[in-house]
Amino acid sequence: MVTIREKIIAYLQQHQNGIDDDALAEALQLSARQQANSRCRQLEREGLVIRRRVNGKIHNFWNEGKQPPPTPPNVKPDNVKPWFWEGNVQTSVVRYLEQRDYVIRSAANTASKERGKDIEAEHDGEILWITVKGYPEGTKRTHPSTQAGHWFKQATFDILQYRGENGEARLGMALPDFPRYRSLAQKIKWFQPVAKFTYYWVQESGKVTEESYELVL
C-alpha cells in the first residue's frame, strides 16, 4: 500500500514548480489539508522539501539539491542511524498509522529533541498521542541495558502526563522490539490497563505490532 508520504514525494518530484498545501491535498484526493501540511513540514525538516511563500501562500518544492547520492553496494555511510534509533522508530509508526487511515497532526523532530508529543494523530475524530523511544547504543560508562531502563521510565512518565492532560485520548508507547523493553513492560503489566495505553513494537524490518491494554484486562 502506497502511503500519503510516498504519494506526496512522487508528486513533488514530478511537479518542480511547487504547490501549496490546499492544492496538493486536492490533487492527491486527501481527506484533509492538514495531511498535506504535516507531511510536507516533516519532509522539510528532513531537508527533502523547501517551503516558501509564493503570492501570499506557502508552496512546497522538492529539494533536488539536498537529495543524497545513492549509497554504493555494501557500504554503510557513517551518518546512517541504526534501525532502532528513535527517529527510525517514529517513522515506522507514522507509516503504520498512515496505512490505517490516521491523520498525522504532528511528528516531533527527534533529531533536534523538539519538545512536545512525539506523534499526534487522529482517526474518526479520536485523538492518539504516542511517546517514542529508541534503544541506546551505550557509552563507556553506561551499559545499553541500564540506559534502556532510564528511557523506559521516561516513556512511562510521558504516559502519566498524557493521561493527566486528557482522560479520553488514546495513548501509545512506541519502542523497538528488544527483549529488555519486553521485560520491563512485563514488570509493569498492571499499569497498562490502568493508564489505558497501547504498545507499538517496532521490528528491524519496520513491521509494527500493537499490544493493546484491552488484551490484558
**23 lies in a domain?**
yes
Residue 178 lies in a domain: yes
> Has residue 204 got a pLDDT over 70?
yes
Q: Are residues 119 and 207 in the same domain?
A: yes
Q: How far is residue 115's CA from residue 91's CA, in Å, rounded to a whole number?
A: 17
User: Is 123 in the same domain as 37?
Assistant: no
Place of cell 529539494: 63
Distances (CA, A) of 117 to 8, 48, 96, 128, 147: 24, 23, 17, 10, 21
Domain identity same for 105 and 180:
yes
Residue 171 sits in which domain range?
Answer: 86-216
Do residues 175 and 119 share a domain? yes
Q: Are residues 162 and 93 in the same domain?
A: yes
| DSSP assignments along 18-55, one per residue | -EEHHHHHHHTT-S-HHHHHHHHHHHHHTTSEEEEEET
Residues 146, 56, single domain; the answer is: no
CATH of the domain at 14: 1.10.10.10
Query: What are residue 176's DSSP bridge partners?
Result: 202
* Residue 31 is assigned to a structural domain of this protein: yes
According to the model, what pLDDT value does residue 121 have? 94
Q: How many CA atoms lie within 13 A of 149 on its CB side?
A: 6
What is the domain count for the chain? 2
Q: What is the pTM of this model?
A: 0.66
89 vs 110, more confident: 89
**100 and 23 within one domain:** no
Residues 131, 27 share a domain: no
Predicted local confidence at residue 168, as pLDDT: 94
Q: pLDDT class for 203, splitting at 50, 70, 90? A: very high
Asked whether residue 72 is domain-assigned, the answer is no
pLDDT tens digits for range 18-60: 888 988 988 888 888 888 999 999 998 888 999 988 777 889 9
Amino acid 110: pLDDT: 66
Long-range contacts for 178-187 (Cβ within 8 Å, ≥24 apart)? 178/84, 178/135, 178/148, 180/135, 180/144, 180/145, 180/148, 180/149, 181/135, 181/148, 181/152, 184/148, 184/149, 184/152, 185/152, 185/211
The answer on 209 and 108 residing in a single domain is yes
**Do residues 130 and 95 both lie within one domain?**
yes
